[in-house]
Structure 1
Amino acid sequence: MKYSCYCSMSRRWFLRSILPGALSLGILGVTQPALAQKTAKALVLSCIDFRILEAERYFLSLNNLGNQYDLTALAGSSLALSGLPHPADAQAFWDQLELSYRLHHIQKVIILDHQDCAAFADKVSPDLSKDAELELQVHREYLSRAYWEIRERYPDLNIELYFVGLNADVKPISPLAKV
């Protein structure tokens, strides 16, 4: 009787004390340490919309960015830089850009707007996505504003603008002339 009790306590002690530590050491041994690299190739501004995440990741990997970028996600992407849907969004972007620039030495900013954006529907027009040409024009205008604001504050950064379709088509957008 005493023997079975001893074994029971022994197993319990083992499971509670040694096994978790042994497992965590095994797991830690398999994981890779964080990269020592302190630079990122870019800061990416994306919308929070879950529908475009995979298309964006795929696009960024095709453009040799892999996991070498800092990511900021704000509803409306370029719309957020104009203070919509909330003025704090613009400040959040500028804070993130400053940190990315200073700490990770980024060389460019990539802004990804997308088709059928709820933030644009809410703040610009609920029918915006019903007219593909108008939708692209409105996004081009907000992307261009963002381009010139960034260019003014960070003239040495490259800036790339894109419009992502729900079909995963990613179109480069040339900024409009500064007004």
Structure 2
Amino acid sequence: MNTTCNCHRRWFLRSLLSASILLPSLSFSRSAFSLPIQPKALVLTCIDYRFFDGEQTFLKEKNLKNQYDWTALAGASLALTGFPHDEDAVAFWDQLALSEQLHHIQKVIIIDHQDCGAYAKKIDTNLSKDPEREKQIHRQYLTKASQEILSRYPQLEIEMYLATLAGEFIEILPN
């Protein structure tokens, strides 16, 4: 295995995670110290920019505005399987541990989405052409992610959603 490549991947993931934590805070005009609200959840989303605004609106409608820690990894639930790299799963587990320890979160919200490039690459390039199959595949990976999280953190609630291209957020119940 090429250790240079692994070092670059680790550096990239650390940079990406740092940016995902810092960028949302840059949009606020007040200091972080003035936010009196304690995060209630860790939200895991895909990195796909097409869904960012909709996810923010969805979380606000769930009364979670400024009350969640956020982690974005390609494929969201798929990342917990180590796709595209084992470091993606490691990064998620590190972020969840810190969120639970530092912010005493009560739940994890996982948001997958339609037409996901990571799912197309791992499962089938034509996956998004069959919406029912696509939803079922996401349900399988979301369920697996939920089970893994609950095996390590049984006190946490898990919510799972599939964001559609039309801007809907469909709650996914485990298999």
Give 1 or 2 for the bigger CA radius of gyration. 1
In the alignment of these two chains, the number of paired residues is: 146
Runs of 5+ in structure 2 lacking a partner?
Answer: 1-28
Residue of structure 1 equivalent to 2:30: 32
One-letter amino acid of the counterpart of residue 126, structure 2: D
Residue 105 of structure 2 aligns to a residue in which SS? coil
Residue of structure 2 equivalent to 1:81: 80
1:10-159 correspondence to structure 2 within 5 Å: 31-34=29-32, 35=34, 37=36, 39-159=38-158
Residue of structure 2 equivalent to 1:11: none
Distance in 1 of aligned mates of 2:35 and 2:116: 37
Q: Give percent identity, aligned residues only.
A: 56
Contact 1:38 1:104 in 2 (8 A): no
Residue 163 of structure 1 aligns to a residue in which SS? strand
Tell me the C-alpha RMSD between the 2 structures: 1.1
Give 1:36 deviation, angstroms. 5.4
Deviations 1:80-111 (A, max 9, x none): 00111111100000000000000011000000
Contact 1:115 1:164 in 2 (8 A): yes
Q: Give the TM-score taking structure 2 as reference length.
A: 0.81
Q: Give the TM-score taking structure 1 as reference length.
A: 0.79
One-letter amino acid of the counterpart of residue 66, structure 2: N
Give 1:37 deviation, angstroms. 4.0
Distance in 2 of aligned mates of 1:36 and 1:173: 31
Deviations 1:97-154 (A, max 9, x none): 0000000110000000000000000111101001000000000000000000001000
Contact 1:42 1:109 in 2 (8 A): yes
Distance in 2 of aligned mates of 1:33 and 1:68: 15
Residue of structure 1 equivalent to 2:168: 169
Runs of 5+ in structure 1 lacking a partner?
Answer: 1-30
